Structure 1
Amino acid sequence: MTPVLAALSGFALVALALAVVWAVQLKTRNAGMVDPVWSWSMGFLAVWYAIFGSAAAETRLVLGLLGGIWGLRLGSHLFIRNAGKPEDARYAKFRAEWGAKANFNMFWFFQFQALVAWALSVGFLVVAYRPGDSHVTALGLGVAIWLVAVIGESVADAQMERFRTDPSTKGQVMDRGLWRYSRHPNYFFESLHWVAYLPLAFGSPYGWVTLLPAVLMAWLLLKMSGVPILEAHLVQSRPGYADYMRRTSVFIPWPPKS
């Protein structure tokens, strides 16, 4: 399969999956399921490109494993976190603001997320179709970055989940563990994850393209759907969060200000 055909078919399948999620939320009135399905779709794209790519077998195997496991872990975490819960504040806000056009706008919002997933997956695509063999050192470096990123994000998620489910911390600000050094360590490690595919693309004339997903993900989280909406809500709902913002790095883990 050519890179263009693999990319177009992958986008069509992800767009279809998110259209199904949109149809389900018409009945449930809860759009939160789009988050785990989006993550699973990203992992699917890594495996999809790995199967049909033309790179060396070991390169495609590493790509499929790294991307697939990452997407499976993140999607499963989000599914467990959201299951049985009220609609995420972000989507509830959109639904309220859109009013009578909520269903129409939500459909195209979901399709925009499919487009974002497709844009991010260009890193997977470049690796899957890179010419020649990947050096074992490059593969090892990619795996090392991936491990740091996925373990870091998993630890941050676990710390936050324990905090959220502990009755003694209800209404407090999470400033422990990794969250002492970054207001959003999960976002930082999520963005770092995308850097793991750069070493896998060494030797490809388009290897530099694998940096774009990391930059795009960081921008989306910091400027679009992540930090702005979440922190606007937390400042209003959590006493002490404004002070936490003043002393704690927003993204890169760093010692807090006194």
Structure 2
Amino acid sequence: MNWGAFGVNLAVSAGAALAVMLVAFAVGVRKRMHRGVDVAWGAAFAAVALVTYGMSGGGVGRGLLLTVLTVVWGLRLAAHIAWRGRGHGEDPRYERMLARAPGNRSLYALRKVYLLQGALVWLISLPVQAGSYAIGAADGRVLALAVVGTALWATGVAFEAVGDHQLARFRADPANRGRIMDRGLWAWTRHPNYFGDFCVWWGIFLVAAGSTQAAAVSVVAPLMMSYLLIGGSGKRLLERHMEGRPGYAEYVARTSGFLPMPPARTDGR
């Protein structure tokens, strides 16, 4: 590892993530709603990756691969969330959070939403940063990890993109109003998009793990993302929001909570 240059990159990338979040915050204050931070989430990852690529000297190799994987994932996610949220008001999650704000709602949102998410972007992007500063020849182990990591990343992006498309089509049909989406990938896992994120960031970590030092520095990143998706603000909170809806208990009984699996039979046979 080029530790000195990597340390400088950590500071500059933190500034890049902060800049994206502050722009999103300014837009949120102007519009008086803060759901745009979810768009900024993917965009901030792309910004960190691009800044890292430029500061690490560019070129081809592991750094370029890590940058492409992160930017494609981040911009696709940002574009999808922006499209999904068009014409809607505040996200109910942020509305509930800000209703409890002691004092100025905007400053509370800055601390509890924007700055927190900016810090998480910086932490979770450690594999991109560390892998870009790892020094060494591309031997068979490095190439194998890059291939496996890219394949896992592609699986994750496919789960996210296909799952998002299937859900959008389901919601667009008026006949499905009030029904639980349980078709396509959603019949195999209740959270294809979260499972996709899980695969994406473990895949990016494997690409970076061609360097033992980069792996040691950045393994906290996919572990943190896994916690957020499964036990933090992802699956756990969404299921708490969904429980009680007609048909949801039956959906839970027959559908895997995270890892894709064939739906269970619930007809007693």
The whole-number CA distance in structure 1 between the counterparts of 2:53 and 2:165 is: 30
CA deviations 1:168-224 (Å, max 9, x no partner) are: 111100111111111111101111101222134313323244443222112112222
1:97 equivalent in structure 2: 100
Identity across the alignment (%): 31
Q: 1:181 aligns with which of 182, 185, 188?
A: 188
1:134 equivalent in structure 2: 138
Return the structure number with greater helix share: 1
Q: Secondary structure at the match of 2:263?
A: coil
Q: Could you list the structure 1 runs, at least 4 aligned residues long, displaced by more than 6 angstroms after superposition.
A: none
- Alignment of 1:191 with 2:194, yes or no, is no
2:156 equivalent in structure 1: 149
1:73 equivalent in structure 2: 76
Unaligned runs of 5+ in 1: none
TM-score by length of 1: 0.92
Unaligned runs of 5+ in 2: none
Q: Secondary structure at the match of 2:136?
A: coil
Q: Is the 8 A contact 1:153 1:190 kept in 2?
A: yes
2:109 equivalent in structure 1: 106
Q: Secondary structure at the match of 2:15?
A: helix
Q: In 2 relative to 1, CA 128–246 (structure 1 residues): closer, same or farther, beyond 3 Å?
A: same
Question: 1:55: Cα distance to partner?
Answer: 8.6
The whole-number CA distance in structure 2 between the counterparts of 1:22 and 1:190 is: 24
- Alignment of 1:215 with 2:223, yes or no, is yes
| Number of residue equivalences | 257
Q: Is the 8 A contact 1:131 1:204 kept in 2?
A: no
The residue identity in structure 2 corresponding to 1:114 is: G
The whole-number CA distance in structure 1 between the counterparts of 2:57 and 2:16 is: 21
1:241 equivalent in structure 2: 248
Q: In 2 relative to 1, CA 56–208 (structure 1 residues): closer, same or farther, beyond 3 Å?
A: farther
- Alignment of 1:42 with 2:45, yes or no, is yes
Q: Secondary structure at the match of 2:154?
A: helix
RMSD: 1.9
1:159 equivalent in structure 2: 166
Q: Is the 8 A contact 2:63 2:132 kept in 1?
A: yes
Question: 1:92: Cα distance to partner?
Answer: 1.3
Question: 1:99: Cα distance to partner?
Answer: 6.1
CA deviations 1:145-180 (Å, max 9, x no partner) are: 221111121111111111122111111001111111
TM-score by length of 2: 0.88
Question: 1:121: Cα distance to partner?
Answer: 0.8
Q: Is the 8 A contact 1:55 1:127 kept in 2?
A: no
The whole-number CA distance in structure 2 between the counterparts of 1:117 and 1:157 is: 22
